[in-house]
Structure 1
Amino acid sequence: MQRQATTQQQDRIGSAMLNAVGFAAQQSRIFCAPAKSDTPSFPDSASVALSKLHYMQGFPPPADKQITRAEYLAQFPKTRWAFQHMRELIPSRQIACGRAPVTQLPVSNEQQKAIDALSIELSDGSHITFADFLNLSYADALLIIHKGQVVYQTYPNMAAEQSPHMLWSVTKSFTGLVANMLIMEGELNAESLVTEHIPELAESGWAGATVQQVLDMTADVKYSEVYADGTSDVINYGLSAGITQHPDWTGPASLYQYLPSIGAARAHGEHFVYRTVHSEVLGWIIRRVSGKELAQQIAERIWSKLGAEQDAYILLDGKGTEWAGAGLNASLRDLGRFAEMLRQNGRYNSQQVVPAELIEEIQRGADREAFARFGRAGMDGYSYHNQWWVAHNPDGVFEAMGVHGQLVHVNPGAELSLVRLGSHPIATNDYTYDMTRRVTTALADLLRG
């Protein structure tokens, strides 16, 4: 393994990476649900629409319009272009949609005016419209499906309607589905030890942890995921995985090199702490147990069975290993098909794509008290189970979420599926989730009539 950066180098890299992973130092207070007066100011979303930015246009593009892997996350609004062109910046692996006919999504415009007129009350007592919500959440595209019909779709910031979009941690939920399908088929034991499958982690923090503890993120390792902290371990993860680059980095050059370097913390199974590296370990387990790449598993088990319009793809580290916790890219309408499959207990396109028992298990959730101790803004009453966010509300809501505003919202009780793709200037969803939750609740009430 390559030597780790010195402390002095790490400080310098961390300082640079505060921008390189998309977070400026003055934004750190966002992670503590700050008052509005404490939040940074950004340009209105409509004023920096992708169509106005002219990134990567020309032969060659002007220097100030060029975007590279080393700085695509450096400052907003460069992310608006990057999140729709990730495979042009970083190596990727195809997730094939297959040759089956495209599943049609019927469209009904009857509810569009009512949705546009919806008034949503925020936690401070103020009200916003649905258009305000799209603007404030820096939505690139949004799709609402009710009872199997598209009742609302908008593309305020998309280069093309079917552009694949970076999903960040929505990837985790796909990885969780594949792992649980392997468990249900008897190829993987949820209570087996991580090190039974990955002996390379025997001296790491995952020693003694079970697969289920990794799925629920209750395995405890010495790793911090505080994006606004330039010395956080997430910086090492980003550089090792190739999410970004820095010339001073001399640490691990792949996920397989990086993961064994993470040490132990508290006892496993007692604390929920959200850590992307658990999902990377889960991806490693899937590949080792099944003998297949994660992209192949997602394609064979899920994507090719949806009647998708487009291939999806997943990003790779420098050695060809998929980012199992962050690398998926897919289009809006195909994610709508995915959400509808989940809403219908795993059945879609005249076949059972995901076992109904698995959907029921996800909805059961996990330890809500442990989740509450973690302190996730705007998510009172939730838990995290099998790489999904679980609301524990009467409608049986569960969600996949990714930074910068990515959301797959499944509401079986209201027969509602919602997908939002975004490029919010601040990565953490803590800044917008309370608003988003109030909007999805108001939508469910409206569509129920």
Structure 2
Amino acid sequence: MKKSAILGVTLTTVLLSAQGIAADLPDPKSVRTDHLQLMQGFPPAADKQITQAGFMRPYPNPRWSFHHARELFPSRRVARGHEAVSVLPQAEGMEQQIADLTFTGPDGEQMSFGQYLDSTYVDGVLIMQHGKVLFERYQAGVPEDEPHILWSVTKSFVGLLATQLIEEGELDPAALVTGYLPELENSGWRGATVQQVLDMTADIDYSEVYADRNSDVVKYSLAAGMGPVPHDYPGARDLYSYLPTIAAGVDEHGQSFRYRTTHTEVLGWILRRVTGMSTAALIEQRLWRKLGTEEDAYMLLDSKGAEWAGAGLNVTLRDLARFAEMVRLGGEFNGQQIISAAAIEKIREGGDRDKFKAAGRDFQPGYSYRNQWWISHNPDGAFEALGVHGQMIHINPTVGMVMVRLSSHPIASSAQTMPLSIPALAALADLLRGREE
């Protein structure tokens, strides 16, 4: 099989379900999980079966597969342990007010917050203010206790842990990547620092364009094991083999920001080398057991047992809210300082906004990228973790607000959801502004 044909075949089976335009999207009500009846029956009907080859396409398969990923891929447990579950206090009286909140969309249209959630194919959303749950909603048919894939929100977990290790003196941000990973001496990361990997300003010969069937992200997804690999595929079939094959880019390291998941895979490799722990074990010991989570999480693995550090964490909505609230509180949660306040503050400082412009992400005006987090630089100092198909953590420190969202949007790129999310979240912040703690 020719290389172009291989990429064309695998494109429909892995990460890249990014084709299409908004006008072609299905009515969200027509693809409700409870109506689809996917993987029901013994055996399921042929047109209701989902395998690893079809977990992304055809749509609406993701509405089932995004919260059943461990049934399709190898995974490693992130145990909650035997600690008591931390309480998420409830605040009464805001649910309907939030659902009915109206805002002006990017094309001048009026939309309610509830319509925004439906139109972005939300599987679950939880909103907190000052530590109390104001709003919690799940798409009908989505199990509340089944972990959902976070995609690139995973990066922000890894970036936070790296920032903490820097604060503890266990990781040197100015050190060369190859000082930790000599396996990359002949790769595009030669001469790059750990900080440049954290901020994605190291330049490598790698493209991440979800709607391009010839993009390097397809090779990455095959190496990670995000779908069946054709038997005659000539490329790398695991992450440790793939990363050293990525060549240098045309620019000097540190000149501009360009979003590339392979940077996070390198960062995950560095953390495993520095700590002697798997990524799953690191998240478990440093975060999951301390947060008082309700459920185990898990991480998806490549064929050699390496976690997808840039995409593979699966957690429940309420446990994601606990993590986000801990970050909002400067690392303190469940009666302990889990992450240092200095680490959180370093992330919140943000990165170089001029360097960010090189990425062409016009749907995030004024943003920067710092240690695997998206920094809005808006008047409230909001910052975010984002994942394809609509995954989000949004933290507004000024208003004391956290929103976590799990979604299965038919189109991968955040360019589809952010133009609605930015005004929706601004309106939500204004609604909640000034409420008593």
TM-score of the aligned structures, taking structure 2 as reference length:
0.96
1:267 pairs with one of 236, 252, 270: 252
When residues 103 and 230 of structure 1 are mapped into structure 2, their CA distance, relative to the original with a 3 A threshold, is same
- The amino acid of 2:12's aligned partner reads N
Q: CA RMSD in A?
A: 1.3
Aligned partner (choices 391, 406, 409) of residue 421 of structure 1 = 406
| SS across alignment from 2:73 | coil
Task: Assess, with a 3 A threshold, how the Cα gap between structure 1 residues 184 and 22 changes in structure 2: closer, same or farther.
Answer: closer
Residue 194 of structure 2 corresponds to residue 211 of structure 1: yes
Counterpart of 1:11 (choices 4, 13, 20) is 4
C-alpha deviation, 1:18, in angstroms = 3.1
Question: Are the counterparts in 2 of residues 67 and 78 from structure 1 also a CA contact under 8 Å?
Answer: yes
User: Does residue 290 of the first structure (1) align with residue 283 of the second (2)?
Assistant: no
- The answer (yes or no) to whether the contact 1:44–1:135 under 8 Å persists in 2 is no
Q: State the Cα distance separating 1:19 from its structure 2 match.
A: 1.9
2:98 is aligned with 1:105: no
Change (3 A) 1:122 1:159: closer
In 1, Cα distance between equivalents of 2:425 and 2:140: 21
Q: 1:280 to 1:446 in 2, by over 3 A?
A: same
Q: After superposition, where does 1:28-427 map in structure 2 within 5 Å? A: 39-247=22-230, 248-265=232-249, 266-427=251-412
Partner secondary structure for residue 311 of structure 2: coil
The one-letter code sitting in structure 1 at the alignment partner of 2:90 is: V
2:417 aligns with: 432
Say which is worse superposed, 176-185 or 420-429, in terms of deviation: 176-185
Q: SS at the partner of 1:235?
A: helix
Kindly report structure 1 stretches of 4+ aligned residues shifted beyond 6 Å. none
Q: Is the 8 A contact 2:52 2:228 kept in 1?
A: yes
**How far, CA to CA, are the matches of 1:251 and 1:404 in structure 2?**
27
CA distance in 2, matches of 1:23, 1:360: 34
Superimposed CA distance per residue, residues 378-419 of structure 1 (whole angstroms, 9 cap, x where no aligned partner): 211110000000011222211111000000111111000000
Q: Secondary structure at the match of 1:228?
A: coil
Give the residue type in structure 1 aligned to 2:76.
R
Tell me, which stretches of 5 or more residues in structure 2 are unaligned?
none
The sequence identity of aligned pairs, in percent, is 52
Cα 1:250–1:62 shift into 2, 3 Å: farther
Alpha-carbon deviation of 1:113? 2.1
Structure 1 stretch displaced more, 193-202 or 372-381: 372-381
CA contact (8 A) 2:167 2:342 kept: no
Q: What are the superposed Cα offsets for residues 18-45 of structure 1, whole Å, 9 maximum, x if unpaired?
A: 3223546853xx6xxxxxxxx4412211
1:139-198 per-residue CA deviation (whole Å, 9 max, x = no partner) reads: 001000011110000001453112100100000001111111111111110000000010
Taking structure 1 as reference, are residues 24 and 190 closer, same or farther at Cα in structure 2, changes over 3 Å only? closer
CA pair 11-406 structure 1, distance change in 2 beyond 3 A: same
* C-alpha separation in 2, matches of 1:46 and 1:351: 42
SS of aligned partner of 2:154: helix
Q: Which runs of no fewer than 5 residues in structure 1 stay unpaired?
A: 1-7, 31-38
Deviation of 1:228 (Å) = 0.9
Q: Distance in 1 between matches of 2:173 and 2:95?
A: 44
Contact 2:17 2:410 in 1 (8 A): no
Alignment partners' CA distance in 2, 1:61 and 1:190: 51
The 2-side partners of 1:75 and 1:438 are apart by: 31
Q: What is the letter of the counterpart of residue 360 of structure 1?
A: E
> Post-superposition shift, 1:103?
0.6
Greater shift, 103-112 or 303-312, is seen at: 103-112
Give deviations 1:252-302, integer Å, cap 9, x for gaps.
Answer: 111000000000012100010000000000000001111111111111111
Structure 1 residue 135: deviation in Å?
A: 1.1
Pick closer, same or farther for the CA change 1:300–1:23 going to 2, 3 Å.
Answer: closer
The residue identity in structure 1 corresponding to 2:245 is S
Query: In the alignment, is the contact (CA less than 8 A) between 1:18 and 1:229 conserved in 2?
Result: no
Q: Report if aligned partners of 1:140, 1:158 keep a CA contact under 8 Å in 2.
A: no
CA contact (8 A) 2:147 2:316 kept: yes
On the 8 A contact 2:18/2:413 being kept in 1, the answer is no
Q: 1:98-120: per-residue Cα shift (whole Å, max 9, x none)?
A: 21110111112221221122111
One-letter amino acid of the counterpart of residue 101, structure 1: A
2:54 aligns to what SS in structure 1?
coil
One-letter code aligned to 1:53: L
Q: Which amino acid aligns with 2:255?
A: E
Counterpart of 1:21 (choices 8, 11, 14) is: 14
Decide whether the 8 Å contact of 1:69 with 1:244 is kept in 2. Answer: yes
- Measured after TM superposition, the shift of residue 373 of structure 1 is 2.4
